[in-house]
Chains A and B, each alone.
Chain A
């Protein structure tokens, strides 16, 4: 499915958080949002997820306004993995993932619901954890469970807010690999926010850099990850190795 964001503005207490945002993600594409803390990445994701309502601007899925969709219908089209989840109640991994079927569930989960959950746990290599408590898992495993929950939502658009923060190297790669596979194999359109300027280009089709709530630059990794852009957005001097296909930041200094 194709997602378009047109002329999005969002104000909070009179302060402009997002200003005239225009974006587009096609089927099976991964778009990564970069930008310093407070540049509006999370707010943008929350607007797209329908959690908060922008003052102005429209978001379209295949040309249809998402404002017109009911909450439940929207939940079948867009899944969202928040950055911090304060899950406090005891719940098994299976139950946590099953919650992703909420938009389809009647009271008792159907066989299909259970099948989708089991298959997804298998897909992510989480079978052994099925009946373990979510709270007992490590950070990396938790993140995978939350992604599993978004997968069983069977939405064609997936939003992730800093999916690799707080993860060790191996889990960072694993999580990004999963995201890439979802896009390639299942045609899911992905929008994620991250701080990782080196991993982002490797797994993304397009990058967008936000600065103070505005789109500073948008394009292929090579067009976005440049010393000039990084200087302007992050106020950091960076040297970039452009020899391979993917730009790589070699050194940074203030």
Chain B
């Protein structure tokens, strides 16, 4: 019955299969770097790769060859933070989306399924329209409000889940309830606000990256890189969850624990990303799907792939948003769908196998 040669053959083809996935992840990484350089280059002033590199080197190494103050300022104060913000927010939303789809076993789940987005939107509107909030003044108020309300919404959902049992159905329904509640409250605020305030609210809800600064980039960076190891560490548990709760439990996975901790961390990532940039849609929903179509459902590769796909999508979308109607800068939230949908539909048509 045993046939050692054939077994080695199976293993070899499996290694090949895994290597293919790794190569794909690295190609995405290279693509992201290239997209990043292009994004820093283009804009109302085109700088050229030389100037970009020299101004980056000047700052990092304190060298003083070819000094160009203007280029340096454009690169360091305007474009780089924005590029990094796009990468981090894209990666964070994609990571949270992957986690939610896996945890809830639902292809329609996104980082916003627990009502995080509408709660953040309400928090921001509250700051804009009523000037009411918990911490800080004006701009800071919008951020802290959005962050706190986003986490509040997911805490309520998770709290309910703890009492009623953390089944995907109860979590999704509770999330939808929170979403409607906060949307209604946001509408109420919009109804009562002045025209300018309403415009500001709508602008915030669309999402845009113009307010990226280094400290904010730093915060999002810390949260994304702080939570990424957890999701990677529990990749096998996520794989087991998708095989069904019974199977996962019998394989030694604490389904309730993985669900609750995973949702809490995904909400934290989402809240910290959108509180700075507004509720950018689509990235968190579509990046996991695109990745799953290409490399399959193994979360060990799905998490990194999805993060890279999300980062590239948002970066490209933002670069297009900055340049397509220059000097008008469109909110990136509008562009993510315009660019993502054709890609998504193309992949649905192209992918032969059933991927969900």
Contacts and interface: CB of A to CB of B under 8 A. Distances in A.
Interface of A: 46, 49-51, 70-76, 78-80, 82, 85-92, 94-96, 99-100, 102-103, 105, 107, 114-115, 118-119, 121-123, 127, 130-131, 133, 135-136, 153
20 contacts: A46-B246, A49-B246, A51-B246, A72-B252, A74-B252, A75-B251, A76-B252, A88-B105, A90-B354, A91-B298, A95-B298, A96-B243, A102-B240, A103-B252, A114-B14, A115-B7, A127-B6, A130-B13, A131-B13, A136-B353
Contact of B246 (A80, A99, A105, A122): A80
Given A85-B244, A118-B7, A131 B296 contact: no
Contact of A86 (B237, B244, B251): B244
A216 B184 CA distance: 58
B354 A135 contact: yes
B92 to A, nearest CB: 22
A78 B250 CA distance: 8
Contacts of A73: 252
Interface string B288-320: 000010001110100000000000000000000
Nearest to A72: B252
Given A71-B254, A133-B354, A153-B251, A87 B7 contact: no
Contacts of B354: 90, 133, 135-136
A72 B248 CA distance: 11
Contact of B296 (A46, A90, A121): A90
Given A49-B249, A87-B242, A118-B8, 4 more contacts: A50-B249, A50-B250, A82-B246, A130-B13
B250 A85 contact: no
B contact patch SS: helix
Nearest to A106: B236
Given A102-B252, A107-B300, A136-B354, A85 B11 contact: no
B243 A131 contact: no
Of the listed residues A71, A90, A121, A130, the one surrounded by the most CB atoms of chain B closer than 10 A to its CB is A90
Contacts of B249: 49-51, 71
B235 interface: yes
A99 B11 contact: no
B251 A130 contact: no
Contacts of B237: 102
Interface string B1-40: 1110011101101100100000000000000000000000
Interface in B205-262: 232-233, 235-237, 239-240, 242-244, 246-247, 249-254
A119 B236 contact: no
Contact of B297 (A74, A90, A107, A130): A90
Contacts of A75: 250-252
Of the listed residues A94, A107, A118, A130, the one surrounded by the most CB atoms of chain B closer than 10 A to its CB is A118
B14 A89 contact: no
Nearest to B239: A99
B346 interface: no
A158 to B, nearest CB: 10
B233 to A, nearest CB: 7
A3 B249 CA distance: 19
A80 B253 CA distance: 13
> Nearest 7 A-B pairs (CB), nearest first?
A75-B252, A89-B297, A80-B250, A72-B252, A118-B7, A102-B251, A118-B10
Of the listed residues B14, B17, B254, the one surrounded by the most CB atoms of chain A closer than 10 A to its CB is B14
B203 interface: no
A89 B300 CA distance: 14
Given A90-B356, A105-B236, A80 B296 contact: no
Given A50-B249, A51-B246, A131 B6 contact: no
A107 B236 contact: yes
Nearest to B249: A51
Contacts of B252: 70-76, 102-103
A88 B17 CA distance: 21
A3 to B, nearest CB: 15
A51 B297 contact: no
B199 to A, nearest CB: 42
B72 to A, nearest CB: 42
B14 A130 contact: yes
Given A80-B247, A80-B250, A102-B253, A121 B10 contact: yes
B180 interface: no
A73 B252 CA distance: 8
Contacts of B298: 91, 95
Contacts of A46: 246
Contacts of A91: 239, 242, 296-298
Contacts of A121: 10
A66 to B, nearest CB: 12
